Amino acid sequence: MIFKYKTEIYPKTSLIKAAYHFTDNFYVHLDERDGYFIVTLEPKSNVDISEKEFNNELLAQVTRYEIFEQTKELREISLARALASTVIEKRENISDDDKTDVSEADILKNWFE
């Protein structure tokens, strides 16, 4: 079975993910020629697939890709805020009461003793 898809419509990543979805039952070959992605599927056993099934999977992957692209900045901002809240601020004026004397022996002490 050979399917063709326009390269200007479908992202390469989505096509690869859609093809990967069928690797359990098919040998998959992907190619690009004359502005088209060419998908060749060869069944491993007596399993059949219609072009409509592949189209549905490709559409699902394109949708995931679009959502990923549209929410990328929001996820980056959320991660940056989460990491920024863990930063320990350095206090400039530390009083003598806040300072503690810790010896090297206390730091390097074996916890299991």
Q: Which domain holds residue 28?
A: 2-84
User: CB–CB of 78/30 below 8 Å?
Assistant: no
pLDDT of residue 84: 77
CB 32 within 8 A of CB 64: no
pLDDT above 80 (res 112) = no
In a domain, 36, yes or no: yes
| Nearest-angstrom CA–CA distance, 48 and 71 | 36
Question: What would the pLDDT profile of 77-101 be if each residue is shown by its tens digit?
Answer: 988 888 876 666 666 666 655 556 6
Q: How many CA atoms, within 13 angstroms, populate the side-chain half-sphere of residue 32? A: 9
* Residue at 75 is within a domain: yes
47 Cα distance to chain centroid: 30
Residue pLDDT, tens place only, 12-52: 999 999 999 999 999 999 999 999 999 999 999 888 888 89
Q: pLDDT exceeding 70 applies to what percent of the chain?
A: 81
CATH code of residue 76: 3.30.70
Overall domain count for the chain: 1
Q: What is the pLDDT of residue 88?
A: 62
